Structure 1
Amino acid sequence: MGVYHAGSRTVQDRVGVREQADHVGRSVGRGIRDVAAAFLELQPLLVAGAADPSTGRVWASPLTGAPGFVRATGPHRVSVTGPWLPADPLATAFATPGTPVGTIALDPRTRRRMRLNGRLGPTARGFAIEADQVFANCPKYLQKRESYEVVADRRGGDPLRGTELTPGQAEFVTAADTFFLASVHQDGADVSHRGGNPGFVRVDSPGELSWRDYPGNSMFLTLGNLAADPRAGLLFLDWTTGSTLQLTGEAHTEFGPERRVRFTVRETVETPSALPLRWSAPEYSPANPDPAG
């Protein structure tokens, strides 16, 4: 499978960055290098994105564990050890062989991130991913958090499900400095990171969010996926309390003087205290634009 499909090429050509995309795309491979394997084994958090085989809806889900719960077990293979929450929207996908999945490991301590996309294979203790694409991203728009601690007695609350944002969830979204965006295409799935100063995601109504698409690496993997298939999943984290907000719906890009993505909410899952991690306060990226600008 090539790095880019028709959707990404369409966006690259529209923006005029095909040459830059070809240059950046040379860094994408299937192999998991030693430095990438070492990075993965240090992470307590992995975000996975896929389409639920039973509903077709796309979700982004957080997976956590002691460092080493994600590790390379072959030149093109990563193993992930569970458990994850039984009510997670992607629980069925994690147990379905061959499901296309995208993952991102993001380390706020070093402002490094790595993406690995491939296909799932369930294992006795979790699942493995046979990699199709492995690559790193620059630290742009990634907030630095110096440290984290594990809150051993934290237990996830019952998920609150809905079809649009509550007022409290809208506040959660507008206060966020980071979210994760899962998207899919005919041959795979992907998860990307979006970051900015609080307020960079706008709640336009209980059923619609939008955000400015900041300049990035010119690959346009996410916007290319959305051009080919509008299904998408968003994940917001509270880096202090561990609460999560997962959204699924459709997204489309508006091209103009300001490139903007609009997301229509179809289903919501809010889980209080879902993750046992408590991170230190953020130092915002110097690359973040003023959200009011």
Structure 2
Amino acid sequence: METIKDVYHAGSRAVQDRVGVRGAADHVGRSVGHGIKPVAAAFLELQPLLVVGAAAPEAGGVWASPLAGTPGFVRATGPRRMSVTGGPRPDDPLATALATEGTAVGTLALDPRTRRRMRLNGRLRPTPRGFAVEADRVFANCPKYLQKRDAYETVAGREPGASRHGRALTDDQRAFVEAADTFFIATVHEDGADASHRGGNPGFVRAPSPTELTWRDYPGNAMFLTLGNLAADPRAGLLFLDWTTGAALRLTGEAHTEFAPDGERRVRFTVTRVLDTPRAVPLRWSAPAYSPANPSPPG
């Protein structure tokens, strides 16, 4: 298990101190470990989806991408090693990063059926069948703000369509973002990368302009890994999935946190590049039951 000093860097500590939750963060941080416990290994082998986040300088920023496969395509192959069979398509912004020895990656395995999620961050090693991640940090998150989807099916013959590139969101993409109940965010710092989840009732994310997104940062586990990373390095990648059609909307840009006097926190994300891929994953999930923890979005 890591020491608290290993879990948090200066960016996370600065946010924890500003909000006044250092003690709570220290308590939660003691659950972060290096190894993959048997219960975590069993969880991984049941998942058909893995979200991976990393910096990709050749693709112009930090990105989050979905990887999908038959359960077992992600599995623990050692006390600290997670192996992935397959990988991104050649045109994925993370294709080069996920084929490069030593890339810092953040991964998130999320199971809407059980409202469980697991994060594993570490360094990448290419393998003949895909890649492996040597874990630096392994930990679970509570089910807060995670929508429940009871079942999924793999759609036979569903293949990714041609990706659409842009520098700003179209009207349809803005509407898609504002109808979302879930998105994923990848962030980085000098020692690693992280992939995390944000959820809420539809409307919790706003797109006030073609190049700006904003969302309220709901109370969480007090760790402030994402906001801490952003305090140190504002680069970020967002991933919005269509849980029915499998479409993936990926954005890269920079994010900044605004702290209001009443304690509310709001994140503003400036879009620099857009990648919209129809049918990116072959999974079709059932309709969601929204988390009872979700606040009502502003009118």
TM-score range with shorter-chain normalisation? over 0.9
| Separation in structure 1 between the aligned mates of residue 292 and residue 271 of structure 2, nearest angstrom | 30
* Pairs within 5 Å for 1:90-101: 90-101=94-105
Report what 1:288 is aligned to: 294
2:126 to 101, 122, 126: 122
- Report whether the alignment pairs 1:27 with 2:31: yes
Aligned length: 293
| Separation in structure 2 between the aligned mates of residue 98 and residue 277 of structure 1, nearest angstrom | 30
Letter of the structure 2 residue corresponding to residue 182 of structure 1: A
- Report whether the alignment pairs 1:137 with 2:141: yes
Cα offset, 1:55, TM superposition: 4.5
Cα offset, 1:53, TM superposition: 3.9
* Pairs within 5 Å for 1:1-293: 2-55=6-59, 57-256=61-260, 257=262, 258-292=264-298
Q: Does the 8 Å contact 2:122/2:193 carry over to 1? A: yes
Gaps of 5+ in 2: none
Cα offset, 1:86, TM superposition: 1.7
| Separation in structure 1 between the aligned mates of residue 104 and residue 50 of structure 2, nearest angstrom | 16
Cα offset, 1:152, TM superposition: 1.3
Q: Normalized against structure 1, the TM-score is what?
A: 0.99
Q: Does the 8 Å contact 1:116/1:131 carry over to 2? A: yes
Cα offset, 1:87, TM superposition: 1.0
Secondary structure at the counterpart of residue 145 of structure 1: coil
Cα offset, 1:66, TM superposition: 0.2
What is the alpha-carbon root mean square deviation over aligned residues?
0.9
CA offset digits 1:229-280 (Å, max 9, x no partner): 0000000000000001000000000001221000000000000111100000
Q: Does the 8 Å contact 2:149/2:289 carry over to 1? A: yes
Q: Does the 8 Å contact 2:59/2:94 carry over to 1? A: no
Secondary structure at the counterpart of residue 281 of structure 2: coil
Percent identity over paired residues? 76
| Separation in structure 1 between the aligned mates of residue 94 and residue 87 of structure 2, nearest angstrom | 12
Q: Normalized against structure 2, the TM-score is what?
A: 0.97
Cα offset, 1:101, TM superposition: 0.2
Gaps of 5+ in 1: none
Q: Does the 8 Å contact 1:48/1:61 carry over to 2? A: yes
Q: Which runs of at least 4 in structure 1 moved beyond 6 Å after TM superposition?
A: none
Q: Does the 8 Å contact 2:153/2:284 carry over to 1? A: yes
| Separation in structure 2 between the aligned mates of residue 165 and residue 198 of structure 1, nearest angstrom | 18
| Separation in structure 2 between the aligned mates of residue 200 and residue 122 of structure 1, nearest angstrom | 37
| Separation in structure 2 between the aligned mates of residue 99 and residue 53 of structure 1, nearest angstrom | 11
| Separation in structure 1 between the aligned mates of residue 11 and residue 60 of structure 2, nearest angstrom | 20
